[in-house]
Amino acid sequence: MVDLNTISHDIIQAAIEIHKELGPGLLESVYRKCLAKVLRDNGYDVKEELYLPVTFRGETIEDKGYRIDLLVDDRVVVEVKSVEEMKPLFSKQTGTYLKLMRLQLGLLINFNVPLLKDGVKRIVNDYRE
């Protein structure tokens, strides 16, 4: 099994390739689809726009309460943004997805920056398998 650091490295490298080729300013959906394609081409299992139900006190309240942009190898959540300013809410949202899914690592990637490395944030949940 590939370790989380390798998966996250490969996701970031794929995002950098896309950013170099397309540049900033496109829709999030375009970057999400491109990132999914590159990762699949590199052998990863990628689920797009995965719905996550909301449960409250043991009952499912909403089947489609949350939508995760990408789930890579069922282990890393990727939230894709194309915004002028990253809001703290985006990190909290990604952290909530990790907690609900009992996963350790998420990547928040904003493609609307001059250098992509400035648009990448790792979100870590302390959940252990």
> pTM surpassing 0.85?
yes
Beta strand 105-110 pairing with 76-81: parallel
Domain boundaries, the chain: 4-124
Phi, psi of 86 (to 5 degrees): -80, 125
The first and second tokens of residue 71, run together, are 């789930």
Residue-by-residue pLDDT tens, the chain, 129 positions = 789 999 999 999 999 999 999 999 999 999 999 999 999 999 999 999 999 888 889 899 888 878 999 999 999 999 999 999 999 999 999 999 999 889 999 999 999 999 999 999 999 997 555
CATH number assigned to the domain with residue range 4-124, chosen from the 4 options 3.90.1570, 2.20.180, 1.10.357, 3.40.50: 3.90.1570
